């Protein structure tokens, strides 16, 4: 169950309309049939479920922990915040909305959000997203935020200062976004991020990535006998699997072995 900060001006209800729109509102729309409603101040969550591939024992068919509207995910084509909403967590909020094509979240205030894990997981029809205005400085968990968004071509991202929230985790953030062509996280301060595991793994169309400065790693590397030893853990493991071989060049120049970034069979030092 998530907590939503409430005032008299904030949305208190999520509603599924008959045109396939999930809205966050203070008053229900009068010009559409309402198919279902959920109260945001007592929002029920559905627990995560998954299966294992018996041949590889890999996790498959993930159904993320998400608000109860995930049970109607296939019906949702649009999401719109008609009134301001200020969640403390957006874990799984739009997960598995395979038919979602339009997002209007200008009224979604993310300044108090601490976790957005799998927020857009599996939105297979979504092609573009502009969340550049979001205040994500308090968000510490972005695991698989856009994973399996296989049609996502462009995403305008927010600024990030990971030193402000005690660390941010973007593991698998764009996992298997196979249509993503470019990404710009050059404005990010990543000095507080401990792990980038599989962040862009499976982004087979990604040829241009404006990445942040890795200069903060230089003092970290100095504590090891060799630069390669500094990268023996999972921190950068599989970051660019199946991506253009030039994307990891700045990290390789610092001593990160090529196989750590690109080889999905590579095993971290135990």
Chain segment 85-129, per-residue pLDDT in tens = 999 999 999 999 999 999 999 999 999 999 999 999 999 999 999
Measure the CA–CA gap between 76 and 100, rounded to whole angstroms: 6
**Predicted local distance difference test score (pLDDT) of residue 194:** 86
pLDDT at 232: 93
The CA distance from 24 to 176, in Å, is: 29
Supply the pTM of this predicted model.
0.92
Task: pLDDT band for 6, please (50, 70, 90 cuts).
Answer: very low
- What is the three-class DSSP state of 28? coil
* Residue range 218-238, pLDDT digits in tens: 998 999 999 999 999 999 999
pLDDT (tens digit, 9 = 90+) per residue, 152-199? 999 999 999 887 766 789 999 999 999 999 999 998 999 889 899 999
Separation CA 13–CA 11 (nearest Å): 6
* Spatial CB neighbours of 198, under 8 Å, sequence gap ≥ 6: 171, 172, 175, 237, 238, 239, 241
């Amino acid at each position: 169950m998530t907590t939503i900060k409430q005032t008299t001006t904030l949305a208190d209800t999520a509603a599924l309309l008959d045109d396939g729109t999930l809205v966050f509102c203070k008053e229900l729309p009068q010009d559409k049939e309402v198919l279902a409603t959920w109260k945001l101040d007592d929002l029920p969550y559905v627990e995560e479920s998954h299966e294992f591939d018996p041949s590889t024992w890999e996790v498959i068919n993930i159904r993320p922990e998400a608000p109860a509207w995930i049970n109607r995910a296939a019906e949702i084509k649009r999401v719109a915040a008609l009134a301001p909403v200020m969640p403390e967590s957006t874990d799984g909020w739009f997960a598995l909305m395979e038919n979602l094509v339009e997002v209007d979240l200008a009224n979604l205030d993310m300044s108090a959000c601490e976790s957005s894990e799998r927020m857009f997981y599996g939105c297979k029809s979504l092609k573009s997203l502009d969340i550049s205005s979001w205040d994500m400085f308090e968000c510490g968990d972005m695991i698989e935020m856009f994973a399996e968004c296989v049609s996502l071509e462009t995403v305008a991202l927010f600024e990030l200062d990971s030193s402000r929230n005690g660390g941010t985790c973007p593991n698998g953030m764009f996992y298997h976004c196979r249509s993503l062509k470019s990404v710009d996280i050059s404005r990010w301060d990543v000095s507080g991020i401990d792990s980038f595991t599989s962040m862009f793994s499976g982004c087979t169309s990604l040829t241009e990535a404006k990445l942040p400065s890795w200069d903060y790693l230089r003092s970290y590397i100095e504590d090891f006998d060799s630069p390669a030893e500094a990268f023996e853990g999972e921190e950068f493991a599989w970051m660019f699997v199946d991506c253009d071989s030039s994307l990891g060049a700045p990290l390789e120049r610092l001593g990160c072995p090529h196989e750590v970034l690109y080889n999905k069979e590579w095993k971290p030092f135990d």
